[in-house]
Amino acid sequence: MRAGEYDFVVVANRLPVDRVVAPDGSVSWRTSPGGLVTAMEPVMRAADGAWVGWSGDTDETGGEGGDTAAPFDEGGVHLVPVPLSSAEVEEYYEGFSNGTLWPLYHDVIAAPEFHRDWWDAYVAVNRRFAQATAAQAAEGATVWVQDYQLQLVPAMLRERRPDLRIGFFNHIPFPPYELFAQLPWRGQVLDGLLGADLVGFQRMSDANNFLRACRRARGLASRRQELVTGGRRVRATAFPISIDSGSFDALARTERTEGRVAEVRFELGAPRKVLLGVDRLDYTKGITHRLKAYGELLADGAVDPEDTVLVQVATPSRERVASYRALRDEIELTVGRINGDHGTIGRPAVQYLHHSQPREEMAALYRAADVMLVTALRDGMNLVAKEYVASRHDERGVLVLSEFTGAADELTQALLVNPHDINRLKELILQALAMGEKEQARRMRALRRRVLEHDVTRWASEFLRSLEQLTDGGSPVAVEPAAGAERTALAADRAADAVGAAELVR
Ligand code: GDG
């Protein structure tokens, strides 16, 4: 296959832009600045960068080269749209990605569905992404494939272009083998990922789950964080993702945000204490557990709705999927009940927002919140927890954080909780509401040190440096363990890995 001209190619399910069609039919693109875009920007600028992804639109030409598929340049990046038909969106994206892999990889909180036609669409779309990427990448280029929607791309790409340096990063957890083994196509998924030189995960435990799956399903021996397959070294380890901490810190400090913080607090009935939850409306985020704990505290009389309010931002997500619609109904029923039982006129006990907020408003909400509640039942990282910390230059506020998030490995000064343990969650909410300023500041200082030093740019450069050293035959960069808990987890994982390798477990 003939090489393309780009030395660095990012491959992600979505392009970092949205296609906007004006009433007169003209098409333009609006950039959607997310964390990934920010992280890639310097790398894209330094290298000759291209981004391969779906535009978010459907293309009824069957996905094989309609008009919308022409690459174009936007904001200094070469964008390569991969077309998807509406059937493919249903089967590859809503089906296999979000109906099979998402629940399976999040500890089966919801039941995954296994359908052979969804799998077939996943294979076909992954092949199209691999083809598009192979056509863009220059000889010896670095390709970085993102996330669970594209797990087959590394091997499909290597088959076409063995000259490439290929990295993969999984933004969501990788499940224990006992759960992963349910996947009828588990071997094919592992083979797909093993096409990469470096497979990155949020937590060390995710990397070790993957290595164990390779031992069990593919009989590969792993040592430390590496294994050898087809005469190649493959490394699997943790690269905890982060946010653009500096820009969040700066946004939270602006006069405009300060002004808005005062307004928000006033509108919420200052000096009422403010509890905050911000999540995509997803069953992994533990919104119902949070509402249950808060509702019980109100019912017990432990929290007075005159003194306290819970603000819950639940951003619309995957609304075409039936289980997400059902979850929305459940959440809204619960919010309605709590407000019916405990609210007064103009003073709801839960202030619920089911629409997306501008970034500036998010910063103001973070700054206005006395307590941030992150109660995910399973979460790859959870960026909201890091954004809250980055916004608190005043060193106030308390983070209650689920131990089942990747962030819990790093943010050990938060109040860590098992969100299934409703009594403990209630105790910690009360502890957070009562925490003195001195202790808030002590904890927040430590949290801020971690989040400000480990930002998303560092995440990207550590991943790419590790990929480079690995493929140059040098010694790969060690991931710096964070705080005590992470170090312990790392040691335990390493010990388990060593045992696994010694026994050559199958
Ligand atoms: C996946 C993994 C991993 C939310 N509502 C609004 C809004 N947001 C922004 C938040 C945050 C982002 O969306 C959500 O990121 P999370 O990390 O919390 O969760 P997922 O969407 O599930 O992301 C996760 C992540 O990938 C990265 O690897 O951490 O574990 O599941 O940035 O601020 N932003 C604005 N308005 C909203 O209403 N502006």
Give the chain's domains with CATH numbers. 6-238 (3.40.50.2000), 245-453 (3.40.50.2000)
In this prediction, residue 17 carries a pLDDT of 85
| Chain segment 32-54, per-residue pLDDT in tens | 656 677 677 777 777 779 999 99
% the chain with pLDDT above 90: 79
Best residue among 356, 383, 399 to mutate for probing ligand 1's pocket (most ligand atoms within 8 Å of CB) is 383
How far apart CA 355 and CA 371 sit, in angstroms, is: 21
Is the model more confident about 273 or about 477? Answer: 273
Q: Of 371, 370, 461, whose CA–CA distance to 417 is shortest?
A: 371
Best residue among 102, 354, 381 to mutate for probing ligand 1's pocket (most ligand atoms within 8 Å of CB) is 381
Kindly give the number of the ligand 1 atom that is closest to the alpha carbon of 285: 22
Q: Looking at ligand 1, which residue's alpha carbon is closest to its atom 28?
A: 171
171 is catalytic: yes
Say whether pLDDT at 477 is over 70.
Answer: no
Check 191, 206, 370, 379 and give the catalytic one. 379
| Chain segment 192-212, per-residue pLDDT in tens | 999 999 999 999 999 999 999
| Chain segment 148-173, per-residue pLDDT in tens | 999 999 999 999 999 999 999 999 99
In this prediction, residue 37 carries a pLDDT of 74
Cα 280 to ligand 1 centroid, rounded to whole Å: 7
Grade residue 501 by pLDDT with cuts at 50, 70 and 90.
very low
In this prediction, residue 486 carries a pLDDT of 34
Distance of CA 118 to the CA centre of its chain: 23
Length of the chain in terms of residues written = 506
Cα 164 to ligand 1 centroid, rounded to whole Å: 31
Say whether pLDDT at 219 is over 70.
Answer: yes
Pair 189, 153: CB distance under 8 Å? no
Cα 450 to ligand 1 centroid, rounded to whole Å: 19
In this prediction, residue 94 carries a pLDDT of 95
Q: Looking at ligand 1, which residue's alpha carbon is closest to its atom 21?
A: 280
The mean pLDDT value for 62-73 works out to 64
How far apart CA 243 and CA 352 sit, in angstroms, is: 25
379 is catalytic: yes
| Chain segment 68-111, per-residue pLDDT in tens | 568 998 878 899 999 999 999 999 999 999 999 999 999 999 99
Cα 476 to ligand 1 centroid, rounded to whole Å: 30
Amino acid of residue 60: E
Kindly give the number of the ligand 1 atom that is closest to the alpha carbon of 380: 30
Q: Of 328, 330, 300, whose CA–CA distance to 315 is shortest?
A: 328
| Other Cβ atoms closer than 10 A to 206 | 24
The mean pLDDT value for 389-407 works out to 98
In this prediction, residue 476 carries a pLDDT of 38
Kindly give the number of the ligand 1 atom that is closest to the alpha carbon of 282: 22
Q: What are the CA-CA distances from residue 391 to residues 14, 15, 376, 445 (Å)? A: 27, 28, 20, 12
Give me 29's structure tokens.
Answer: 């693109």
In this prediction, residue 403 carries a pLDDT of 98
Q: What is the mean pLDDT of the chain?
A: 90
Cα 433 to ligand 1 centroid, rounded to whole Å: 25
Best residue among 280, 353, 359, 402 to mutate for probing ligand 1's pocket (most ligand atoms within 8 Å of CB) is 280
Say whether pLDDT at 66 is over 60.
Answer: no
Ligand 1 binding residues, C-beta < 6 A: 171-172, 241, 278, 280, 313, 315, 356-359, 362, 379-384, 387
Pair 49, 6: CB distance under 8 Å? yes
In this prediction, residue 273 carries a pLDDT of 97
Q: Looking at ligand 1, which residue's alpha carbon is closest to its atom 19?
A: 382
In this prediction, residue 202 carries a pLDDT of 97
Check 171, 289, 342, 454 and give the catalytic one. 171
In this prediction, residue 58 carries a pLDDT of 85
Say which residue the tokens 């397959």 belong to.
Answer: 229
Kindly give the number of the ligand 1 atom that is closest to the alpha carbon of 243: 32
Cα 222 to ligand 1 centroid, rounded to whole Å: 33
From the number of C-beta atoms within 10 Å of its C-beta (0-12, 13-18, 19+), residue 240 rates as buried
Cα 224 to ligand 1 centroid, rounded to whole Å: 32
Give me 315's structure tokens.
Answer: 């951003």
Grade residue 28 by pLDDT with cuts at 50, 70 and 90.
confident
Q: Looking at ligand 1, which residue's alpha carbon is closest to its atom 30?
A: 380
Q: Looking at ligand 1, which residue's alpha carbon is closest to its atom 34?
A: 359
